[in-house]
Amino acid sequence: MSTVQTTAIGVKRQHSLQVGEAVVGSVSNTERPAAVRWVSWLSLACLWLAGLGAAFAEPLPVPNEVAERLQREPVAVQVRHAHDGLGELAPVLAYYGFPANEVLDALLGAAWRESGREVEFVAADGYRSVIPSAHFARYRAWLVYARADGAAFVTDNVFKNRREVSLGPWYLVWDNLAAPQLMAFGDHYWPYQVVAVAIALPHAQ
């Protein structure tokens, strides 16, 4: 039985995120600073360029749109934060988000679950992290968009010696409290700054 703690929250309490930006609170397009709008468009441009010659990517909607599509509220989930240390040295943090399998089903259909498939998580800069679909069948994962304690949605990546790295708009985390064996992977399969997902193209024979 999973040791992960989940707590339903109202959608109205969540932060509204635009593609390519970190948590900035709930604001309308007319209120959003020009610099933030520019970052959003830049992320979309990177996404389009990354898609050339690669698998077609489905943009991840903002959290309230995901909630509407899934017909469920986001939950607060606890995990050991893999970017902050190895094993039990990694702190336990809580995030708001949605089950990754449900989000992938909504955006990609059932095809991503087929045997041998891989899923690409496209970052704001166009980088693609490829994860076998079998990993999602074996372990639980969430796509999260904010810290549950209200802290900044950033991380200090100890493995790359980078501080206060933005995690938004979406960050993939795994249930490594219920499945401690996931800690052996470190921060592998924990992509952040995710703006889109895709079914990876088959490898050339």
pLDDT at 89 (0 to 100): 76
146 by Cβ neighbours in 10 Å (0-12 / 13-18 / 19+) ranks as buried
User: Could you report the per-residue pLDDT of 152-181, keeping only the tens digit for each?
Assistant: 999 876 666 677 899 999 999 999 999 999
Report CA torsion sign: 171, 135, 6, 85. Answer: negative
Lowest mean pLDDT among 15-24, 79-88, 196-205: 15-24
Q: At what angle do helices 63-70 and 100-108 cross, to 10 degrees?
A: 80
More confident residue, 40 or 60: 60
Report CA torsion sign: 77, 83, 85, 86. Answer: positive
Rg of the chain, C-alpha, whole Å: 16
pLDDT at 201 (0 to 100): 87
User: Could you report the per-residue pLDDT of 7-59, keeping only the tens digit for each?
Assistant: 444 333 333 333 333 333 333 333 334 433 333 444 444 444 444 444 689 99
Q: In the predicted model, what is the mean pLDDT of the chain? A: 78
pLDDT at 187 (0 to 100): 85
Lowest mean pLDDT among 13-17, 39-43, 111-115, 194-198: 13-17
Give residue 86's pLDDT band: very low, low, confident or very high (50, 70, 90): low
39 by Cβ neighbours in 10 Å (0-12 / 13-18 / 19+) ranks as middle
